[in-house]
Amino acid sequence: MSVILSVFFASFLISSSIGASISGAIWTNKMYGVVLGNMQDMGIPNAAELAKFEYDTPIEFIKVHTWGTPARIAVATAYSHVQKYLCMTGLVLCFPLIVLSFVVRDHRLDSVQSLEVDHDDEQGVSRDGKVVMNKYDDDIVLDNLRSFSTSVKARWRGTPLCNTD
């Protein structure tokens, strides 16, 4: 169990760092251009200087330009525009995980600690030496993938799927 938890936490931290670097790259590459474009579209004088000021020190910018000023509205719309990119990227990166979650095996977990206590040979547990093997937990997804790959290989080779002899 500790190995599973450590793999889970390691993958969590790795995924978190990848996500942070991707979102940082999006903010860095998009934000200044979108703020500058919004300020120029709204006709704000010295837009390049204000956009650089906002990008370098956003807290100082919001202290100087209160809510309702054209520069602050341009920045708020720029944030919402860049946030759309972040949300779309997050959805795209989560889609494979959602798909893979449907093909993960659903193991049957018993309430006892040992298979020897829970089952006998007639119920699907066999003893190979000292190892107790679980044979009652069929993987439906893996079985379907095996049969699909066998049929694809047979079609590729041009052999019939079943013998008619």
pLDDT of amino acid 87: 94
pLDDT digits (tens, 9 = 90+) for 41-68: 999 999 999 999 998 999 999 999 999 9
- What gap in Å lies between CA 120 and CA 58, rounded to an integer? 68
Contact status, residue 51 vs residue 39, Cβ threshold 8 Å? yes
Cβ atoms of 59 and 114 closer than 8 Å: no
Task: Give the contacts of 107 (CB within 8 A, at least 6 positions apart).
Answer: 137
Q: Could you tell me the pTM of the whole model?
A: 0.59
Tell the residue number behind the tokens 């093909």, with chain if given: 103
pLDDT digits (tens, 9 = 90+) for 82-115: 999 999 999 998 898 888 888 777 666 666 556 5
